[in-house]
């Protein structure tokens, strides 16, 4: 079922840059690991998952935290800040290429 694994495509999905050397290692290792875990196919279970004994775990939305209480603490560990915000590279580009 898994003789060929497209490591480059998976790396892109996982937002992970992978060197050519590691790529060839993973191309060898991943099929080995997958052929080991493939043993689950032999188990007498379908793919249906029954969630047993459900209970509500949502707590009442009381005592809201006042805005700003943790702002400095959270920003203190951010790589870059802009005022009271975490600074991020522009995500959506106006640059239309097509």
Partner 1 sequence: MNLDTLTIAEARRALDAKEYSALDLTNAYLDAIAKKDPDIHAYLEVWADSARAEATAADAMIAAGKSQPLTGIPLAIKDNILIDGRIASSASKMLENYRASYDATVIKKLKAQGAVFLGRTNMDEFAMGSSTENSAFGPTKNPLDTSRVPGGSSGGSAAAVAAGLALAALGSDTGGSIRQPASHCGLTGLKPTYGAVSRFGLMPMGSSLDQIGPLTRTIDDARTLFEAIRGHDDNDSTSSPDDLYPVRPLRRIVGVPRAFVSSGVEPDVLALYDATLERLKAAGYELRDVEMHNLPFSLPVYYIVCPAEVSTNLARYDGVRYGLHVPAGTVNESYEKTRAAGFGPETRRRIILGTFVLSSGYADAYYRKARAVRDIIRADFETAFSQVDCIAMPTAPGPAFKIGEKTSDPLAMYAEDIFSVTANLAGVPAISIPSGTVVRDGKNLPVGFQLIAPHGGEDILFTIGSGVEKL
The residues binding partner 1 (CB under 8 A) are 1-2, 5, 7, 10-11, 13-19, 22, 26, 29-30, 32-34, 36-50, 57-59, 70, 73-74, 76-80, 86, 88-91, 93
Tokens of 24: 């060839």
For partner 1, which is the closer residue by CB, 29 or 84?
A: 29
Q: Nearest approach, Cβ of 42 to partner 1 (angstroms)? A: 8
- Residues 76, 72: Cα–Cα separation, whole Å: 6
Region for 83 from its dihedrals, namely left if φ exceeds 0, alpha if ψ lies in -120 to 50, beta otherwise: left
Q: Nearest approach, Cβ of 14 to partner 1 (angstroms)? A: 5
Q: Nearest approach, Cβ of 83 to partner 1 (angstroms)? A: 16
Does residue 81 contact residue 75 with C-beta atoms inside 8 Å? yes
For partner 1, which is the closer residue by CB, 64 or 76?
A: 76
What is the widest separation between alpha-carbon atoms in the chain? 57
């Amino acid at each position: 079922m898994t003789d060929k694994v497209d490591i480059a495509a998976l790396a892109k999905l996982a937002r992970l840059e992978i060197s050519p050397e590691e790529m060839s290692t993973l191309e060898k290792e991943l099929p080995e690991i997958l052929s080991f875990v493939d043993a689950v196919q032999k188990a007498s279970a379908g793919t249906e998952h029954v969630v047993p004994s459900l209970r509500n775990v949502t707590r009442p939305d009381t005592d809201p935290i006042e805005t700003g209480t943790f702002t400095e603490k959270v920003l203190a560990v951010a790589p870059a800040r802009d005022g009271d915000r975490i600074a991020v590279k522009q995500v959506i580009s106006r640059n239309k290429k097509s």
